Structure 1
Amino acid sequence: MTRIEQKDNGKKGRFVMYEDDLPVGEMTYVWIDDSKIIIDHTKIEETHGGKGYGKQLVMAGVEFARKQELKIIPLCPFAKKVFDRDAGIQDVRFS
């Protein structure tokens, strides 16, 4: 069973994915101002690759942005790839 937890200190934050209570990946972001964040890093443990966890973390960030009425700048290459491939999340992309 997996779950994602968010931690945020007002300047930066992260989403951490757990599988059976063990951390298996994270996506980090930094606040630019009160309306924008930059996704700067996404990493999944090699032993858990190929399960779609990276995309789930990016989508957790998208959900957060929608709820908070934020825009996302996807600087992380993986997050950028997710945004480039999914027309359904462009509403939160800052261009």
Structure 2
Amino acid sequence: MAEIKQGTNKFYVGDNENNPQAEITFQKQGDNQINIDHTGVPDELGGQGLGSQLVKSVVDYARDNNLKVTATCPFAKSVIEKNAEYQDVYSG
């Protein structure tokens, strides 16, 4: 599995957060909430669970920082809604 690194309002795979191989981005929504607005995994890295790992990175970040998560990104929203373990931070 590729190493997931933390950037500015994102988690990513690759050597450079400005030109990542794969990424998930989020924006602050007030003081205690973040919104996942984009998940990008190229076809050559698809099918390995990388997108789900990126979502998990944001969920773990939210837990560590006492934040709630929403998702306008359809992929992230689907992963979070299907995973019972993520419901503690999900605010729909």
TM-score w.r.t. the length of structure 1 is: 0.86
* Distance in 1, Cα, partners of 2:45 & 2:4: 15
User: 5+ unaligned residues in a row in structure 1: which ranges?
Assistant: none
Q: What do the CA deviations read for 1:42-80 (whole angstroms, capped 9, x no partner)?
A: 010111100000000000000000000000001100001
User: 5+ unaligned residues in a row in structure 2: which ranges?
Assistant: none
Residue identity opposite 1:87 in structure 2: A
Judging by fraction of residues, say which structure has more strand.
1
Report the more deviating stretch, 22-31 or 71-80: 22-31
Asked if 1:36 is matched to 2:36, the reply is no
Seq. identity, %: 40
* Distance in 2, Cα, partners of 1:48 & 1:79: 17
* Distance in 1, Cα, partners of 2:7 & 2:30: 17
Q: Secondary structure at the match of 1:29?
A: strand
Counterparts of residues 67-82 of structure 1 (less than 5 Å): 67-82=64-79
Q: Which residue number in structure 2 is paired with residue 15 of structure 1?
A: 11
**What's the Cα RMSD here?**
1.5
Aligned length: 89
Q: Give the drift of 1:30.
A: 0.5
TM-score w.r.t. the length of structure 2 is: 0.89
Runs (4 or more) in structure 1 with deviation over 3 Å come to none
Residue identity opposite 2:89 in structure 1: V
Q: Give the drift of 1:2.
A: 1.6
* Distance in 2, Cα, partners of 1:3 & 1:34: 29
Q: Which residue number in structure 2 is paired with residue 83 of structure 1?
A: 80
